[in-house]
Structure 1
């Protein structure tokens, strides 16, 4: 984890998940950089509703993909989600809960803090 990475509260970014291992850099944190064009910065708790929604819009997060060492998500798992995908799920009524202490501050460029707080896990 980048020691200088901050969460949406301006505090040190906490780990999102190591089982399954998440993050753009697969470091367990929702760190980001210029290479992360998807902005994988929102630490969520997956729900059945969200996983069905995500699969229906072409981002199947529940099916294992062994060649990429991806076990597939199940309800209750934590995951670094793309900020734009979270907004889409919110607009569809399927937004998952968010762990704000593990959500990167860059998320605030896309999602206002007051909206994220309504989904605080």
Structure 2
């Protein structure tokens, strides 16, 4: 009986690990590295799905991929400049849960960010960026709009603020860079999937043997 329980437990752990890895490694930041959290403890929980990350999610038409420190005193207030109600100075559900926390590091719409730059008067007139938490998809989107001043400026601003070169890199190269960082996790995930299959087979076989023994006892 203990063997059956342990096999089930191992199988569940493997499956949960696969789903967790998929979640953590499903996006890259503008450095082509693992996307870091935008919001943290003591701040309001951000992200389109309120998971703390500026992840690329189907259905997120606003593409909330840019992480900005809305509490920074440099530059114009994001909400005011873009003509929104001042939710930037509000409090929402805490990153760690349990109460309300001030909105600080926040995932904003990449299209609104481009407008923010335009209306604020340039890259030196905006609030601080949290570079490690900016999704690579923002750079890819701006690259796809190359030739449109508004989006060219947005891309150059990210480069300037974050010390990264994106403008001179082709879209296909950016995609390749992002995918290369997934190579290790794909390999690891493959091993985990294989391990889960073995665990399930072992558990299923154990169940069958247990059933046969119970039948013989009866």
Name the TM-score class by shorter chain.
0.7 to 0.9
Structure 1 pair 103–60 and aligned structure 2 pair: CA distance change class (3 A): same
Say which of 142, 156, 160 aligns to 1:118. 160
Query: What is the DSSP-based 3-state SS (H/G/I as helix, E as strand, rest coil) of the residue aligned with 1:92?
Result: helix
Give me the whole-angstrom Cα distance separating, in 2, the residues matched to 1:58 and 1:20: 18
**Is the Cα contact below 8 Å between 1:10 and 1:105 reproduced in 2?**
yes
Cα shift at 1:60: 3.1
TM-score, normalised relative to structure 2: 0.46
Structure having the higher helix fraction is 2
Give the number of equivalent residue pairs: 115
Q: Are the structure 2 counterparts of residues 70 and 85 from structure 1 closer, same or farther at C-alpha, using a change threshold of 3 Å? A: farther
Q: Compute the displacement of 1:9 (Å).
A: 1.2
In structure 2, runs of 5+ residues without a counterpart are 1-22, 93-98, 143-150, 163-218
- TM-score, normalised to structure 1's length? 0.77
3-state SS of paired residue (2:117): helix
From the two aligned structures, give the one with the greater strand fraction: 1
CA distance in 1, matches of 2:52, 2:67: 10
**What runs of 5+ residues in structure 1 fail to find an aligned partner?**
none
- The residue matched to 1:115 in structure 2 has which SS? helix
Provide the residue aligned with 2:129 in structure 1. Answer: 98
1:17-96 matches, within 5 Å, as 17-18=39-40, 19-46=43-70, 47=72, 49-50=76-77, 51-54=79-82, 57-62=83-88, 64=90, 73=103, 77-93=104-120, 94-96=125-127
Aligned match of 1:5: 27
Shift of 1:72: 5.7
2:44, 2:91 within 8 Å by CA — same for their partners in 1? no
The match for 1:14 is 36
Q: d(CA) in 1 for partners of 2:85 and 2:28?
A: 27
- Between the two structures, name the one with larger relative contact order (CA 8 Å, sep ≥ 6): 1
For residues 81 and 37 of structure 2, what CA distance do their matches in structure 1 show? Answer: 25
SS in 2 for 1:62: helix
Superposed CA RMSD: 2.6
